[in-house]
């Protein structure tokens, strides 16, 4: 009984530290992105400012930062939890039946191929946006 209560307490502490470390990591990532974007805009050629009005640059800058602040953080949490859940299921299943690792590796290779094919299309769609 005490072991069960202790494991629940340990789980709560681990989740708390995971949340704090993730928030600090996202804060550092958005700060780095802001600094990098500011540096690139400040060091841009005069031709860039002649062809792009300052309002368009400011709107794009603020939209990118809003996406980082609002959409990326929850999405990253979901992806991290999904990956860790998948890893724990693979470990559990491989203990029960090691032959299923063959199918897991085939599935992983298929997912990597789909990812590589999809990332180019996603980059092209972002470029058109």
pLDDT digits (tens, 9 = 90+) for 73-120: 777 778 888 888 888 888 888 888 888 888 888 988 999 999 888 888
Q: Please tell me the pTM assigned to this model.
A: 0.55
**DSSP of 56-111:** HHHHHHHHHHHHIIIIIHHHHHHHHHHHHHHHHHHHHHHHH-TTHHHHHHHHHHHH
Question: 45 and 82: one domain?
Answer: yes
Question: 69 and 126: one domain?
Answer: no
Question: 30 and 88: one domain?
Answer: yes
Question: 42 and 84: one domain?
Answer: yes
Candidates 39, 35, 59, 53; CA nearest to 129 is 59
Question: 62 and 110: one domain?
Answer: no
Which tens digits make up the pLDDT trace of 6-22?
888 888 888 888 878 88
What is the domain count for the chain? 2
Question: 84 and 30: one domain?
Answer: yes
- By three-state DSSP, how is residue 52 classified? coil
Structural domain span for residue 122:
98-129
């Amino acid at each position: 009984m005490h072991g069960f209560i202790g494991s629940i307490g340990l789980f709560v502490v681990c989740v708390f530290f995971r949340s704090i470390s993730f928030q600090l990591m996202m804060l550092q990532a958005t700060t780095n992105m802001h600094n990098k974007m500011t540096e690139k805009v400040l060091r841009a050629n005069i031709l860039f400012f002649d062809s792009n009005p300052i309002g368009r640059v400011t709107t794009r800058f603020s939209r990118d930062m809003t996406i980082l602040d609002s959409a990326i953080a929850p999405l990253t949490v979901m992806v991290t939890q999904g990956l860790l859940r998948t890893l724990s299921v693979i470990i559990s299943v491989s203990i029960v039946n090691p032959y299923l690792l063959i199918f897991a590796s085939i599935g992983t290779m298929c997912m990597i191929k789909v990812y590589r094919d999809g990332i180019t299309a996603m980059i092209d769609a972002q470029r058109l946006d």
